[in-house]
Copies of this chain bind each other. A is one copy, B any other.
Amino acid sequence: MRQFIVLSHTATTDPDFALDDLAGGAGRLDVLCRCVNSAFFLSHAIREGVRVFLVLSDSVTVRLEGSELRYMNPDERNIASLLRQALESREGAIGHSEVESTPGIYVSNRGFESVVQAAGREGTLVQLQEGGDPLAELDPPEHPVFVLSDHQDFTETEAAMLQSEADHRISVGPKPLHADHTISVVHNFMDTNGYTGY
């Protein structure tokens, strides 16, 4: 299992947003849509061994399971419509319990620290961050959990939590990349150097 946790500091948790305004009224939900695209799509296939957690504004988490996903197309608008359905289903989620909104997509009222700690118990936490160790030096973990921030840096509180939880702090290259581009690079590194089957 290859996992990604993407934290959005700005995405709306209210499903009442316009699909025409993902980069505006939806609080840069376009960033998360592109991360979902990069995490799951191969040419004419889905990476079935991938799990993604999108943490929205530290209060809502959407979990996507590659092995269960159906009806997802790679364009931002389509992915956003599935995320909107997840947010619409959220009222059925009590505490940390999850509700499945569409096949392979689950929503819960969980925050960033809870998601990171739970995933860290199952796998090797790799924080992706400018200024980290070079990706080429990472010995590919068997069950990696890559943790990324959106277009904003981790806050001091988030960074401190990751400092204590993460097993590695890695930078994918000399240029500061968008989160979705980082996911593409990490996938390729793992495809080439790590365990296959994802």
The chain A residues found within 8 Å of chain B, CB to CB, are: 19-20, 22-23, 30, 34, 37-38, 41-45, 73-78, 130, 136, 151, 172-178, 180-181, 184-185, 187-188, 191-192, 196
| Set of chain B residues within 8 Å of A19, measured between Cβ atoms | 20
Q: What residues of B have a CB within 8 angstroms of the CB of A77 in the complex?
A: 20, 22-23, 76-77
The answer to whether A73 and B23 touch (CB under 8 A), given A43-B178, A174-B191, A191-B175, is yes
How near does chain B come to A147, taking the closest CB pair, in angstroms?
A: 16
| Nearest CB on B from A141, distance (A) | 18
Known: A184-B184, A185-B188, A188-B185. A42 touches B175 (CB 8 A): yes
What residues of B have a CB within 8 angstroms of the CB of A23 in the complex?
73-75, 77-78
Residues of B within 8 A of A78 (CB): 23
Residues of B within 8 Å of A192, CB to CB, are 136, 173-174
A78 to B21, CA, bound (A): 10
Closest residue of chain B to A182, judged by CB? B184
Bound complex: CA A20 to CA B162 (Å): 39
- Looking across the interface, which residue of chain B has its beta carbon closest to that of A179? B43
Query: Across the interface, which residues of B come within 8 angstroms of A185, CB to CB?
Result: 184-185, 188
Do A176 and B75 contact each other (CB < 8 Å), given the known contacts A181-B184, A185-B184, A185-B188? no
How near does chain B come to A60, taking the closest CB pair, in angstroms?
Answer: 21
Residues of chain B within 8 A (CB-CB) of A38 are 181, 184
CB-CB under 8 A for A75 and B74, given A38-B181, A184-B181: no
